[in-house]
Amino acid sequence: MIENFHFLRPLWFFATIPLLIFIWYYDGKIKTGRAWSKVCDPHLLPYIMNTVQKDIKKRLPWGGIVSALLVITALSGPVWQRVPQPVFSNQSAMIIALDLSRSMDATDLKPNRITWAKHKILDILSRRKEGQTALIVYAAEPFVVSPLTDDSHNISALVNSLSTDMMPAQGSRPQLAIDKAVELFKNSGIRRGDLLMITDGWPESSTFTSKQMVGHRLSILGVGTQEGAPIPLPDGGFFSDASGAIVIPKLLSGPLQKVVKQGGGYFAELQTDDKDLDLLLSGIKQNPISMQVAETEFTADRWHEEGPWLLLPVLIWAASVFRRQSILVFLLFFSINNEAHALNWQQLWYTPDQQGAAAMAEGKLSEASELFSDKQWQAVAKYRSGQYDAALKSLEGESSNDAIYNRGNTLARLGRLPEAVKAYNEVLKADPNHADAKYNLEVVKKAIKQQEEKKEHQDEGDKKEGDKKEGDKKEGDKKEGDKKEEHNKSGSDDSQESNPGKQQEAEKNKQASGKDQSNEDKAEADKKSAEQQTKDKKEDAAKLKAAQEAAQEAEKKKSAQKEGEQKPMVKSQEQLKSEESKMAMEQWLRRIPDNPGGLLRKKFLNQYRNRNRETSEIEQQW
């Protein structure tokens, strides 16, 4: 342990230099005053130099000097042991939607808008160190290039292959791209995420409302200039509209800013430097829409600083300096009675809510519920510890939207589902965009439906059970009647006891019939036993045959494996002969450039054909 002792910030020890200068200067003044006192009478000193008498009585402030040294040592960070701590990763999610309509080929940004947009996407991917990212492209239809993933390098490999001519249908429908992004979020189980659209305009025919985002946030990076530029065609010339006029798309920031305002995000125009991304990404990072983090499988060690312990004597000294009765501070500190020992150290410096938050972070939920003074936090602690009845009681009288939402969760845990539905509806009435309440409401409704179906099945089962019991009862009554009838017959037989001859004859007949019956039962048992033995023999034969077949199969596999191991040795020379031809083939394959754009083009075309969506209604084909 002691061999690991060091200082994390040793440069703080340079602060001792001004401290030493102060000690030297102060000590010099004291020595000067004492020198005058040796050559002058004490009663004359006040008349010679007023300051000298004051300096004579002064001494070095050792308490302040020692406190200063302790503070400097604490700031330098003395450590000697490591403490393991888990590593957390950010679970934020962002979907980038790139506009690939014809207007992105405009040349007002050299060489064109789409080139600058792809560079910005690569810069965004390089900056996103944590969280999930996805990429979709759109024109008349949206298509997924990459779903939400933690590996941004896979997306970067596809960005450069994107172009406007790979879209199967041209136009501009950003609202469909938003729907596709929301669908991706939903399929990934993400309730709150960021959608960043990179586009050069918002058509007037496209309508947008905040309900379309379903709790997510929309930001836009505008591409282009207000002057605009024509759209060049591959075979020369420029793109023109139906009337033959050359189309000059311009960046209109007004409609884009209006959409962003409804989407709750940020807007920036594309710049040649990084100011646009700084504005967008810093705003998204500083105001995260979701604070979810996940603990990874990795751990990191950090040095545990022991410097704060050195500040305790400094605090005691500082308290005594600002009080004339300094001795009372020490008496108070050292004369704490037995009752005061129960006082927690944190109670001196933290509020009850802060103490409760610290206890809840450590997993001490029961203790946290007792420490919190805020009723809603009390309810949260009790809810997490499983004390649902106590949590519901803590929420009584709370009328805020969060309290009503928490009450709905607690009622759902207690199985009071109709009341939970009522609470969620009340939350959505106050805040229609409350995504968590919507999700929980659907879950509770499904649970209620399942309970109703289960109850119906149970009722049907009870009905069948009742019918079965009724039938058994009737059958029992019938058997009882048969027994009574048989008893009556036996009674009539007993009435014939007066005739001894007949009685003996009847007894003999009864013994003979019993003997015949026993012989028949024995024959039946022997027959069944023979059949069972035959059946057992057949089963044993089948098992033996299956075991033999399994052993033969294992032997075949073993022999085939041996042959496989021997073949490479036999064919090793043939492989050496063909090695040069294989290497030559690999070199030729390396010369063939990868073309992910062609694969994406075919993928988009197939998806477009399967959708069968009408695009003839699109007026703006760029």
Q: Label residue 597 by pLDDT band (50, 70, 90).
A: confident
Q: Label residue 458 by pLDDT band (50, 70, 90).
A: confident
Q: Are 83 and 53 in contact (CB under 8 A)?
A: no
Q: Are 133 and 155 in contact (CB under 8 A)?
A: yes
CA angle 186, 188, 194 (to 5 degrees): 70
Question: Does the domain at residues 92-291 carry the CATH identifier 3.40.50.410?
Answer: yes
The pLDDT of residue 492? 43
Query: Of the spans 51-60, 130-139, 288-297, which averages the highest pLDDT?
Result: 130-139
Cis preceding linkage at 288, omega within 30: no
The pLDDT of residue 195? 94
Q: pLDDT tens for residues 208-230?
A: 888 888 889 999 999 999 999 99
Average pLDDT score, the chain: 75
**Residue 58 CB contacts under 8 Å (≥ 6 apart), including other chains:** 26, 29, 30, 33
pLDDT of residue 330 exceeding 70, the answer is no
pLDDT of residue 431 exceeding 80, the answer is yes
Q: Are 171 and 607 in contact (CB under 8 A)?
A: no
Q: pLDDT tens for residues 33-91?
A: 555 556 666 666 565 555 444 444 456 678 888 888 999 999 998 888 877 766 444 56
Q: Which residue has the tokens 């499983």?
A: 386
CA distances from 44 to 29, 38, 52, 53, 413 (A): 19, 12, 11, 10, 90
Structure tokens at 544: 């033996």
Spatial CA neighbour of 166 closest among 120, 98, 228: 98
Structure tokens at 309: 């312990």
Reported in sequence order, the residue ranges of 150-281 that DSSP labels E, i.e. its strands, are: 194-199, 217-222, 264-269
The pLDDT of residue 553? 67
Calculate mean pLDDT across residues 15-21. Answer: 90
Q: pLDDT tens for residues 219-267?
A: 999 999 999 999 999 888 899 888 889 999 999 999 999 999 999 899 9
If one compares 43 and 516, the residue with the highest pLDDT of the two is 43
Q: Label residue 366 by pLDDT band (50, 70, 90).
A: confident
Say how many residues make up the chain.
622
Helix (H), strand (E) at residue 94: strand 93-99
Phi/psi for 263 (5° steps) reads -80, -10
Q: Are 385 and 369 in contact (CB under 8 A)?
A: yes
If one compares 134 and 499, the residue with the highest pLDDT of the two is 134
pLDDT of residue 114 exceeding 80, the answer is yes
The pLDDT of residue 500? 42
pLDDT of residue 511 exceeding 50, the answer is no
Calculate mean pLDDT across residues 416-423. Answer: 89
Query: Of the spans 150-154, 341-345, 459-463, which averages the highest pLDDT?
Result: 150-154
If one compares 325 and 38, the residue with the highest pLDDT of the two is 38
Q: pLDDT tens for residues 434-443?
A: 888 888 888 8
If one compares 339 and 418, the residue with the highest pLDDT of the two is 418
Give the number of other CB atoms < 10 A from CB of residue 185.
23
44-53, 176-185, 547-556 — which is least confidently predicted? 44-53
d(CA 372, CA 328): 33
What are the extents of the domains in the chain?
1-81+303-332, 92-291
Percentage of residues in the chain having pLDDT higher than 90: 22
Spatial CA neighbour of 622 closest among 143, 201, 116, 120: 201
Q: pLDDT tens for residues 390-411?
A: 888 888 888 888 888 888 888 8
Q: Label residue 271 by pLDDT band (50, 70, 90).
A: very high
The pLDDT of residue 300? 55
